[in-house]
């Protein structure tokens, strides 16, 4: 059995890509996208016609609406290949505006519905894990619109998402790893910080154990992987979203893969439930230099790629 098939025994495998032509070979259950992945895809010759089609069909419409239509166009193509859900992201420039995030999410949902998609079963709206984004997701979930809270780097963000009863969170393993590696510089010991000791892996395990111990239904989906060792160390997580390159690496390896995260074992741990109001959330996030920096950096990067996508459309 290859590592990808072994992983499927305990974890739902999700593909992290806008390149939907790669999906069939890996047979993922779900798929995730973001503006950076869509930007990367539409610059390939295979996908440029999709961009031209959407822009041509909606000339004169506001550019933000055309962007959403492009995201939904990619999403519907992905849904024709996978059996599960696709995650489609709200513009990162709205990360600190609760009502604007809700409005944009509802427009994306309406566009999917117009394509005949059962949004309650097949769509997750991706929103940055700011306080405002989590509040938007709380309100959307109450309307039956399920959300994937992304750019999640801290336990405080996970606690707030669980309290908001969001459908799913995406803790960013690789970006946490990147920050610690850069922070330690020449003192970084790769071997000592690999596998279960990887700082990104440890962050996801803490969140997973907390949710399972306290009966929090929010799904945990590890994201942003740098190597297959990080993925193997999280086998047993609810879901893992993995790039096509790492999916191929897993499929090509028959090295042993063991069950690393265990919901039943987590329920036997002593982990108190935490409650955070807005002030406590902001202070806890502020105290976590890594999470503060990576959240801001992630929002800036996604916002910059959204602008590049708009410029490509306008051109």
Contact status, residue 119 vs residue 109, Cβ threshold 8 Å: yes
Spatial separation of the C-alpha atoms in residues 305 and 311, rounded to whole Å: 10
Token duo for residue 74: 């990619």
Place of tokens 């709380």: 138
E strand segments, the chain: 12-16, 30-32, 86-89, 123-128, 147-152, 168-171, 219-222, 239-242
The single residue of 44, 57, 121, 126 carrying the catalytic annotation is 126
Token duo for residue 211: 């949710």
Spatial separation of the C-alpha atoms in residues 265 and 130, rounded to whole Å: 30
Contact status, residue 315 vs residue 197, Cβ threshold 8 Å: no
Spatial separation of the C-alpha atoms in residues 265 and 143, rounded to whole Å: 34
Give me the count of residues in the chain. 315
Concerning whether 126 is annotated as a catalytic residue, the answer is yes
Spatial separation of the C-alpha atoms in residues 247 and 251, rounded to whole Å: 6
Q: What is the DSSP letter of 20?
A: G
CA angle centred on 65, ends 312 and 72, rounded to 5°: 85
Place of tokens 């999403």: 75
Spatial separation of the C-alpha atoms in residues 46 and 52, rounded to whole Å: 12
Q: 285-295: buried (b, 16+ CB within 10 Å) or exposed (e) per residue? A: beebebbeebb
Place of tokens 């079963």: 121
Show which residues are catalytic.
126
């Amino acid at each position: 059995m290859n590592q990808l098939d072994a992983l499927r025994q305990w974890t739902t495998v999700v593909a992290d890509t806008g390149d939907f032509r790669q999906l069939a070979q890996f047979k993922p259950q779900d798929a995730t996208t973001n503006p950076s992945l869509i930007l990367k895809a539409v610059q390939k010759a295979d996908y440029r016609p999709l961009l031209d089609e959407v822009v041509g069909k909606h000339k004169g419409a506001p550019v933000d609406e055309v962007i959403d239509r492009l995201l939904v166009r990619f999403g519907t193509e992905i849904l024709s290949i996978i059996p599960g859900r696709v995650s489609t992201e709200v513009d990162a420039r709205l990360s600190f505006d609760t009502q604007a995030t809700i409005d944009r999410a509802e427009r994306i949902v309406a566009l999917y519905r117009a394509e005949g998609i059962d949004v309650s079963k097949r769509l997750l709206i991706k929103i940055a894990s700011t306080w405002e984004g989590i509040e938007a997701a709380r309100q959307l979930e109450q309307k039956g619109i399920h959300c994937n809270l992304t750019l999640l780097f801290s336990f405080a963000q996970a606690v707030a998402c669980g309290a908001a009863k969001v459908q799913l969170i995406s803790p960013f393993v690789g970006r946490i790893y990147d920050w610690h590696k850069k922070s330690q510089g020449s003192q970084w010991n790769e071997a000592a910080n690999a596998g279960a000791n990887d700082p990104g892996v440890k962050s996801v395990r803490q969140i997973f154990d907390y949710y399972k111990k306290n009966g929090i239904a929010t799904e945990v989906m590890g994201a942003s992987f740098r190597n297959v060792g990080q993925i193997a160390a999280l086998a047993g997580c609810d879901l893992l979203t993995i790039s096509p390159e790492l999916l191929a690496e897993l499929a090509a390896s028959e090295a042993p893969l063991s069950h690393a995260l265990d919901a039943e074992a987590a329920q036997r741990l002593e982990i108190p439930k935490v409650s955070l109001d807005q002030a406590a959330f902001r202070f806890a996030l502020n105290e976590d230099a890594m999470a503060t920096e990576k959240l801001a950096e992630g929002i800036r990067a996604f916002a910059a790629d959204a602008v590049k996508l708009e410029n490509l459309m306008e051109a």
